[in-house]
Each structure stands twice: as structure tokens, then as C-alpha cells.
Amino acid sequence: MSPAGCSHVNGYKVDNWKQNLRVIYQCFVWSGTAETRRRKVLQSDAGWTELAKSCICHMCGAHLNRLHSCLYCVFFGCFTKKHIHEHAKNKRHNLAIDLLYGGIYCFVCQDYIYDKDMEQIAKEEQRKAWKLQGIGEKYTTWEPTKRELELLRHNPKRRKITTNCTIGLRGLINLGNTCFMNCIVQALTHTPLLRDFFLSDRHKCEMQSNSCLVCEMSQLFQEFYSGHRSPHIPFRLLHLVWTHARHLAGYEQQDAHEFLIAALDVLHRHCKGDTIRDDNGKKTNNPNHCNCIIDQIFTGGLQSDVTCQVCHGVSTTIDPFWDISLDLPGSSTPFWPLSPGGDGSTVNGESHLSGSTTLTDCLRRFTRPEHLGSSAKIKCGGCHSYQESTKQLTMKKLPIVACFHLKRFEHSAKLRRKITTYVSFPLELDMTPFMASSKESRMNGQYQQSVEVLNNDNKYSLFAVVNHQGTLESGHYTSFIRQHKDQWFKCDDAIITKASIKDVLDSEGYLLFYHKQFLEYE
């Protein structure tokens, strides 16, 4: 094909071809959901509305199989089953558009083609669709300016990312008992989707200058991935944390878990310009419908089922969460169950040595039914009286990044201490047994593995571990970070050293960060 593009496009560019192409992009390509598609169709040209009532193949009725639309007439056809090919051959309509990705296919050239005018229309309509959905520019193609092209010509050397590349690894100076902050910053800067968000400059700030924590995090990501090796001094980040989370101000040692939750909360509040909008283009104030990057990555849904012991009626509530706090053996709270035996069996990739406790054990305990007792009776909607009940927590919606907080610090009226119980945790974790949809597979807190293959959508990989060494009164935080697959580094403030997988898995573990292995794109 010549640089000018496909010559067969010229036969299409007659009369109102631009308007017709825009209608197709608006109604059938860039509409995000079936609901918006139907709404846009009803607002479009009457001919399209009458003939194209739904996006299905006009020959077999299927809506999958790479559906394409003819550019010359109202016809939808399967690309996989070649129904759109038959239409093109019979009608001599040589151009069709892919309704999923918006590419133009020429049946004469037998390939997807590029046309500058069509590409411009596709980009304009895509941006309009994103704006209606309130998601900003999203992933727009980078087009270099003349100045940038000149710089690229004079600097042909490219930075190549290899398996031994250390870009993204950078120490952080301890500014006075700030190791709790440094280890969380290391975990956040190595969270893949958070890194992609900040390095693509997608934050739209609506706050006063120098007061936005999201802007500072954006600058921090630039520093981490700049290639500089000298330790970074995060003084601006510390100042903003003190400003927006007053309870963390001062030079005393703070809890890394408390800092994580405070940081996510401030980032969530400062992502005002990045949230979704309603159908009228106005921002939604409902926190349950926030679509900021923090909620997209870290927010899950925790389902609580309270069952009346008399009528067995169930009251269900679903609450958002950023992390899961897990009790440990050795705390004042009775711990049950331990591993299902000291026989060396393996669950979730964790070896059950005699007397050892695993992350799966902690999750099993977290999701077991709990009898609330006579001192905590609730008013049953079925019985219309106060009755004893049981309560069970399960995962209704899993976040992209699952953070598990092992409750090692115990504070009570009589006791203040650190729990040093060793908890083994796996490199790969399957959360299927703890989903609300798997509840019927559990009896009295004991998970019975289904015969069916476990769901890949619920599988996670470990990418960061925060550890605490020392006592409750005097201690130090460090972190392990996964740079590449099976390549780990220990971050101890300004010092970065290579670590083995054994070093990671043998560590005590305070905060465990897992990332979903498979992502669902909306």
C-alpha cells in the first residue's frame, strides 16, 4: 500500500460521507455500554434507528464474532464467519468498520487501512464519547511537536528496558523516623496501574498550587522513573501529608498501615478532576460511584450477611474497603482455624508445616460465620423482634490491588504489644474460596474446594511486602519490591539491595500487596 493510503476510499468520499461516518462512530463504535448505545441510536438518524435496532449480525443474529458495519448501507455482519465478506462481495460495498476498535477494513486490499481524514473523525468522536462519560482524554496517542521531533532526531539513543533494568528503583532519605512513609511510597510507586496513570499525566488538578497530594505523587513518579540513582528526598510529600493528615504530623514513629490508609484517603479526595460525571456532564458526588484512579485500583466490596437464628432470614450489606485487616494467632482474640492438619498439604501454594499459620488460614478465619451471642441481639426484619444471629463476611467485589494488613500491633486497656507470629504467604493467591459467590462451598468456616476449576479472574500475584523489625516502642520499617518477574529488591530507606524470593517469603510480613493477574477492561 502506498504512503497515501488505500485508493478505494476515494469512492466512499461522496455526498455526506463525513456525517454518515460520524453517526456510525457515535452510535455503534465509541458508545461504552449497551444502555448508552441504545440511547445514542434513538437520538440518531431515523434511517439508522429503524433498521439497526441492535448491534447483531443481520445474517446469523450473533453479536460477537468481530462484528463489522458496512460503510455504504445499514448492514452488520460477522467478520469471523465472513458474513460481512459475503455482503461486500454481493453488494460491491468494499469498506466496513470494526465496531469494537473502529478500524476501517477494505475487502479489495484485504487489510485494515489508514486514511488521514477518517482517522481524524475517529479521534474526534472518541474524545467526545470520553467527555460524555467523564473520563477525560484517557489513552490518547502521543503526537510529537516539531520541537520534540527535532530533539528525537538529535538524540537517537533510546533507553531500553531489559530484565536487569533498575529504572524505577530509587532510595528515599529518612527525614527523621519517616521509614513508615518510605516503605509505603515504594509499594505505591511499584503498583503497575498507578504507575501507568501518573506517568501518562492523566491527573487534572483542580486545587490550589502546591497543595495537591496527587500532583506531588505525579512528580514523585517522575523522579523514580527518571533513571537517577541518587536517593530522593521526599520533603514536599512529608509536608503535604502533615498538612492534610494532621494526626501523622511530627517526627515520631508512625504506623505504616495508618499512613497507607491516610495517603489513599487524601489521594482519593484530591482526585476531584479525575472522577466520573453524570449524563448531564456534572460530577457525581456519590462516593459509591467514584471512578478516581484510587478507587479503580484499591476499592473492593465486602459483603456482610447477618442471619437470624430463628427464622433464618438474611440481611445483607455491602461496604467498600481499601484493605483487609487479619487477626493473628497469639492475639487476645481467639484464632480459628489453623491449617487443616500438619501433613504437609498445600493450599494456595502455601506449605502447611506442622504448627505454622498461613495467609489462607487468616482469610479462612476472616470469612467464617461468627455467632454474635445473646449480648449482641439484632432486630430481625422477619421476626420483628430482637434475636440472636450469625454474621459472615465474604468478598463481593475484588479490587485490582488487594492489600492485607496482618494485625501485629495489639492495643488494649491492659496490653500493648507486638505479635511476632510467623505467617507464611504465597507468591500467587487465589481468592475464589473467599468470594460471596463461593459461600455455598463453605460449611462452618471450613472451605471445601469445588470440583470446578478455580476462577482465573480471582488470582493474584505478590508484588510488595512491608515488614516491621523491632518492638512496639522502637522499630524500623523496610519493604520488598518486585521489579520484574521473580526479581525482588529490599528497600531500606536510602539503601536498595537485591533480594531472593526466599528472603521475601521468609520475612515476617506486616502489609502484603497483591495485584490481579487478569484485568477486566470496561
Residues designated catalytic? 179, 476
Q: What is the DSSP string of 410-478?
A: EE-SS-EEE----EE--SEEE-GGGBGGGGGGEETTEE---SSPPPGGGEEEEEEEEEEEE-SSSEEEE
Q: How far is CA 184 from the centre of its chain?
A: 17
Smallest CA-to-CA distance from 300 within 393, 368, 376, 381 is with 393
Q: What is the DSSP string of 16-67?
A: THHHHHHHHIIIIIS--SHHHHHHHHHTS-HHHHHH-SSSS-TTT--S-S-E
Smallest CA-to-CA distance from 252 within 179, 317, 348 is with 179
Give yes or no for a contact between 307 and 389, defined as CB atoms under 8 angstroms apart.
Answer: yes
Give yes or no for a contact between 84 and 70, defined as CB atoms under 8 angstroms apart.
Answer: yes
Give yes or no for a contact between 427 and 350, defined as CB atoms under 8 angstroms apart.
Answer: no
Q: What is the DSSP letter of 231?
A: P
Q: What is the DSSP string of 298-343?
A: H-EEEEEEEEETTT--EEEEEEEES-EEE--TTSSS------S-SS
Q: Torsions phi, psi of 20, nearest 5?
A: -65, -40
